[in-house]
Amino acid sequence: MTPISAAAGMPAEPLRRTARSEVARKMRRHWQLYLLILLPLLYFILFKYVPILGVQIAFKDLSAKAGIWGSPWVGFKHFEAFFNHPNFWLLIKNTLFLSLYTLAVGFPAPIILALMINELRNGMFKRTVQMVTYAPYFISTVVMVSMILLFLAPRIGVIDHIRTALGFDSVNFIGEPSMFKTIFVLSDVWQYMGYSAIIYIAALAGVNPQLYEASKLDGASRLQKIIHIDLPSIMPIMVLLLVLNMGQLLNIGFEKVYLLQNPLNTSASEIISTYVYKVGLVQANYSFSAAVGLFNSLINLLLILLANFGARRATGSGLF
């Protein structure tokens, strides 16, 4: 028997053919738009999905002669080697602590900056603050690290000159493991805070002015306006960015950590990404480094799922 559509009282197959022809008609009408997204689509396919085939390196003893497909399978050998490595817990501790520290300080900083800029009434001063806080984003990582090393250099750095002028002893900030994470996080906040605040400033610009007028008539203070109007208005954006940041929790920027790293602070600065670079590229142990990288990616996937679940339970909105 031919299946009948309950909604239209027509056979299902003609309905499917009609739907397909409607889709084809819309594609022919808007072919320019589909052509426009073709290159980005190809980019994601070639550089994001095709490389997933290389994940099998983590389960093989990669041989340059045999190639990826011809190398022998070894199962979870490299994962077990990583879990039993003497530095396993040190890498996990450093990566997690640095990530959580960055998230705890770096996530609310642009929100606070956006709220402060939104309260400014002088247009010229407001634009100046935005420009000054946004400008560090354009400094490359290499230049940023060079500036940090120069500012914090013992005996010749600006910070050390100020300390000695005040009667304090000279300190090698970059050589102190206990100071590495704070230096990394605060410099990261300074560089990206202004750029990240743009999203929140744009969201605040869309708040209905009548809400502010009504709160003014009710005698609400500026702090009360921020708490009851501004924060609820940007809450969906905050949740979305928090979930995305949680998904990148273990992907601390490799370049900056590696450039700030030296033999004196390795105990605090050695993280998963720098370890993968040293083992995979420097020591040419590709299978082992691929296993470590895959483990890192799986943990990030789990974290983003948990963060999205928690955000949906707490606020009713999430990334997906």
| Residue 299: pLDDT over 50 | yes
Average pLDDT over residues 188-197: 91
Q: What is the mean pLDDT of residues 143-152?
A: 91
Q: What is the dihedral of CA 58, 59, 65, 66, to 10 degrees?
A: -140
Task: Work out the angle between the directed axes of helices 108-119 and 123-134 (0-180°, nearest 10).
Answer: 160
pLDDT category of residue 183 using cuts at 50, 70 and 90: very high
**Is residue 8 predicted with pLDDT exceeding 70?**
no
Q: What average pLDDT does the segment 168-182 reach? A: 87
DSSP the chain: ---B-TTTSSBHHHHHHHHHHHHHHHHHHTHHHHHHTHHHHHHHIIIIIGGGGGGGGGGB--BTTTHHHHSPB-TTHHHHHHHTSTTHHHHHHHHHHHHHHHHHHHTHHHHHHHHHHHH---HHHHHHHHHHHHGGGGS-HHHHHHHHHHHT-TTTSHHHHHHHHTTPPP--TTT-HHHHHHHHHHHHHHHHHHHHHHHHHHHHHTS-HHHHHHHHHTT--HHHHIIIIIHHHHHHHHHHHHHHHHHTTT---HHHHHHH--TTTHHHH--HHHHHHIIIIIS--HHHHHHHHHHHHHHHHHHHHHHHHHHHHHHS----
d(CA 252, CA 268): 14
The alpha carbon of residue 205 and the mean position of all alpha carbons in its chain are separated, in whole angstroms, by 24
Give pLDDT, residue 3: 47
Average pLDDT, rounded, for the chain? 84
Radius of gyration for the alpha carbons in the chain, expressed in angstroms and rounded: 26
Closest-CA residue to 257 (of 104, 91, 109): 91
- What pLDDT, on the 0 to 100 scale, is given for residue 319? 67
Query: At how many degrees (to 10) do helices 177-205 and 108-119 cross?
Result: 40
Cβ atoms 258, 109 nearer than 8 A: no
Is a pLDDT exceeding 80 seen at residue 11? no
Select, from the ranges 62-71, 184-193, 221-230, the one with the highest average predicted confidence (pLDDT): 184-193
Residue 145 pLDDT: 92
Residue 246 CB contacts under 8 Å (≥ 6 apart), including other chains? 103, 303, 304, 306, 307
Averaged over 73-82, what is the pLDDT? 89
Q: What is the pLDDT of residue 1?
A: 44
* The pair of three-digit structure tokens given for residue 150, joined into one six-digit string: 């120069």
In the chain, what percentage of residues exceed pLDDT 90?
16
Q: How far is CA 234 from CA 25, 35, 196, 240, 285, in A?
A: 39, 34, 13, 10, 46
How would you class 149 by CB atoms within 10 Å of its CB: exposed for 0-12, middle for 13-18, buried for 19 or more? middle
pLDDT in tens, 235-265: 888 888 888 787 777 777 788 999 999 888 8
Place 2 in a pLDDT band, splitting at 50, 70 and 90.
Answer: very low
